[in-house]
Amino acid sequence: MMSADLAPFDDASDNTLNATIERFLNRIAGPYRLLVAISGGSDSKGLLIALHQQLNLHSHITLAAATIDHGLREESATEAQGVASLCAQLGIAHLIRRWDGPKPATGISAAAREARYELLADAARALGANAIVTGHTLDDQHETIAMRKQRNAAEDAPGLSGMADRVLYRNQIWIYRPLLSCRRQMIRDFLTRQGHSWVDDPSNTNSHYERARMRAHLRTADDPNLPRQERREELSRQAAKLIEAHVHRPVAGVIAIDQAAWQAHSRVLRHALQALVAAVGGQSHGPGEQSLLQLLALFQRPSGARITLGRCLAHRYRQGLLLVREARGYQAITLAPNETAVWDGRWQIHNSFKAELRVTASTQRLMMDGKELPASIVALGQQSQPQLYKNGDTLTAISHLDADCQPVISQYFGFLPGFERPLACALADLFAAKPFFPADF
């Protein structure tokens, strides 16, 4: 290992990396602590060292670091200790968090990602960090967009905006990606000149994984034209304005979209509808292209026409469209004392009792003012509400459990891209969910 007195930037590409880090740090005002997510790979190690070299110009900012040992390779524990040694040499507080317990037989990459960010958030709390920074690069951005394009190549597909430069995790902590404009080779060249090696995870070249296959393909492909993320944020703002002006919740569980909404620009309307269907259906993403086209066509049909999509029922009525959770796929859950869980993708429920709490779709049929809505739609809205049982007895006054039973916006519950925050905030207002807090910079 090198000493803590590292060599200064001395190359044109190093100057580019230096400028990138400097721009990022200049955005931070007041005392602030960054947690660097470092694996020992080139990207995250380069991020840590580049940040450390620049902090002499930013005395109000301090660094901490965390390594997540997924326990998927025999070498991972040794690699984590190597990172700990580097951090000790640099005088940076460091924690190792291990992903323990059984691993899924399928979907291991997604499960590992979820575990990684949960453990990073825990480490950030333990080390008093205000935000997390990761080493995602321009190469990662290229790969992400290329993979998403294979699923939906439509010009206005939301996924083609790529990774956001900031993401809110579980409405708890912001994750920043300051190296998204930097190529991986630039960072590796920097580390080499600094006298540092790095670890190459074998999964990065394992063709079993989609990202590894795409990475190999992109080595010989032309660079894609990357989208401007400010355009996606503007789309989010316009969709939020549409919802604020033309969408309301007439009764519990029912969303009404005014006829005037169909005068909006097609791209804005589609973006808003995708978000609304995902939220009403408790899904992690909106409907596919064909389903969305059917929803748009429903507006041209007579009052009373209906379609289903994304676990929702869409009903054409004389004033526009109604959206409600359809009557299928409800799964009851049981919460142990002090346990928290999400029911149906739409409600986060905490059991504050000393007994088990069971949650199902509602079977109650309360007298409600349907404001001339179809009775069947009002009934579906009522059914979509959670019904809680303690010791077999129904808890009828959910309003008394406001601190324990909260609506959530399903598609943004885990990760909220910064460019989607305006739309997410409009949805939180519409569904009376907990507000999403803003980024610090």
**Pair of tokens at residue 40:** 């020992």
Q: DSSP assignment of 88-142, as one string?
A: HHHT-EEEEEE--S---SS-HHHHHHHHHHHHHHHHHHHHT-SEEE----HHHHH
Split at pLDDT 50, 70, 90, the class of 162 is confident
Q: Where are the domains of the chain?
A: 12-218, 229-441
58: helix, strand or coil: coil
* Percent of the residues in the chain that have a pLDDT greater than 70, as a whole number: 85
For residue 400, pLDDT over 50 is answered with no
Q: How many degrees, rounded to 5, is the angle at CA 217 between CA 216 and CA 223?
A: 115
HSE-up (13 A, CA, CB side) for residue 95: 17
The string of pLDDT tens digits covering residues 372-381 is 799 999 999 9
Q: DSSP assignment of 199-250, as one string?
A: ---GGGG-TTSHHHHHHHHHTSSPPP-PPPHHHHHHHHHHHHHHHHHHEE-S
Q: What is the pLDDT of residue 146?
A: 78
Split at pLDDT 50, 70, 90, the class of 7 is very low
* 8 A C-beta contact, residue 438 and residue 174: no
* 8 A C-beta contact, residue 286 and residue 214: no
* 8 A C-beta contact, residue 13 and residue 189: yes
* Cβ contacts of 395 within 8 Å, gap of 6 or more: 388, 389, 401
* 8 A C-beta contact, residue 36 and residue 65: yes
**Pair of tokens at residue 312:** 């929702």
**13-16 contacts: CB < 8 A, separation 24 or more?**
13/186, 13/189, 13/190, 14/189, 14/190, 14/193, 16/182, 16/186
For residue 423, pLDDT over 50 is answered with yes
The phi, psi pair for 350, rounded to 5°, reads -115, 130
Domain 12-218, CATH: 3.40.50.620
DSSP H helices, 247-288, are: 266-281
**Pair of tokens at residue 187:** 């960072």
Split at pLDDT 50, 70, 90, the class of 312 is very high
* Cα separation, 308 vs 375, whole angstroms: 18
Annotated binding-site residues read 39-44
* CB atoms closer than 10 angstroms to residue 107: 11
How large is the average pLDDT for residues 237-264? 97
* Cα separation, 208 vs 72, whole angstroms: 15
Q: What is the pLDDT of residue 144?
A: 82
Task: Read off the amino acid at residue 152.
Answer: N
Annotated binding-site residues for ATP read 39-44
